[in-house]
Amino acid sequence: MLIRKDQDLNEIQTTIFDIIVGIEEHENQARQKRASQKSLAVRRAIEERRQRKELEYQINDELWFKDI
């Protein structure tokens, strides 16, 4: 990230600098959002797999007859 030092910048330079910093911040936020979405998708997939395995275990016919 760019850091504006105490320099004598004219108005145009200051505006350009602020735009560049704004773009970098926007890109960083977008990266963080994509990473969060990927992480959430992975967590959902793991939970779905666990649920599927549990259901398969509960539906297994052989286990039903063991209780009788």
User: Does residue 1 carry a pLDDT above 50?
Assistant: no
22 pLDDT band (50/70/90 cuts)?
very high
Chain centroid to CA 9: 37
**Is the distance from CB of 19 to CB of 1 less than 8 angstroms?**
no
**Is the distance from CB of 42 to CB of 50 less than 8 angstroms?**
no
**Following DSSP, what letter does each residue of 5-34 receive, concatenated?**
-S----HHHHHHHHHHHHHHHHHHHHHHHH
User: Does residue 65 carry a pLDDT above 70?
Assistant: no
**Is the distance from CB of 41 to CB of 56 less than 8 angstroms?**
no
Q: Average pLDDT in the 26-31 region?
A: 96
